Amino acid sequence: MRSLFRFRTTARPAPVDLRTRIFAAGDVASRFKFTHMSDATARIVIRNALFFGRDRMSALTVPWCTYTDPEVGHVGLNECEARERGIAVTTFVQELRDVDRAVLDSEVSGFVKVHVRQGGDQIVGATIVARHAGEMLSELTLAIARGVGLGALATVIHPYPTQAEAICDCARSRSGRDRHRNSSISDPSRGDQKSRRRVQSHPADATSKAIV
């Protein structure tokens, strides 16, 4: 090192931009190692590398599905992640055994669970356990990605009978509007222990109780 300091020059260093321009997409660039994420990140790379885009991966709403039977689909935050970020949520749950299409198809194992920012309408996350959870998840993914509130989903007409009606049921339990054919199902927060539609609040503090 000492010999370096003995070497002196009056020449100014050439202005070299040492910032690298390396782009990466797919599994190597994401904690979400899914085919659809490879596609999404590749599109970001193309926009940012070739068209001066400033898109960020962190801005993506990422759904995923595990193809068990029933499938497990998820998008956004779960209760624990919401708590870690200090976001208090209210959770709406609709069991599939109270959804006519699931009963007709003998696919009653599962539920739709939607987390909404407490005191508001913004959907922050959702989990679906159902035979076709992956197919059902896109409606909630679109709602989160485009800022459509749960209340708005309650006003969307869903074809009958479909298992996706469970999403609508969650939305309607938030707005207090029960459908006529499910009118016997009441909100457990009003004291009916037999109810399969559940509403629970999760404060942002660490003492809040998560539901399974």
Q: Which residues bind ligand FAD (CB under 6 A)?
A: 26-27, 33-36, 38
- Tell me the residue number closest to ligand FAD, measured at CB: 26
- Residue 52 Cβ, how far from ligand FAD at the closest point, in Å? 24
Which residue type sits at 188? P
- Residue 33 Cβ, how far from ligand FAD at the closest point, in Å? 4
Shorter beta-carbon distance to ligand FAD: residue 33 or 85: 33
- Residue 96 Cβ, how far from ligand FAD at the closest point, in Å? 22
C-alpha 90: how far from chain center: 15
Between the two ends of the chain, the Cα-to-Cα distance in Å is 61
DSSP state of 102: H
- Residue 130 Cβ, how far from ligand FAD at the closest point, in Å? 17
Shorter beta-carbon distance to ligand FAD: residue 73 or 170: 73
Shorter beta-carbon distance to ligand FAD: residue 24 or 104: 24
Supply the Cα-derived Rg of the chain in whole angstroms: 24
Shorter beta-carbon distance to ligand FAD: residue 36 or 85: 36
Residue 160, sorted as left (phi over 0), alpha (psi -120 to 50) or beta, turns out to be: beta
Question: Using N-to-C axis directions, what is the helix angle for 165-175 and 133-146, rounded to 10°?
Answer: 40
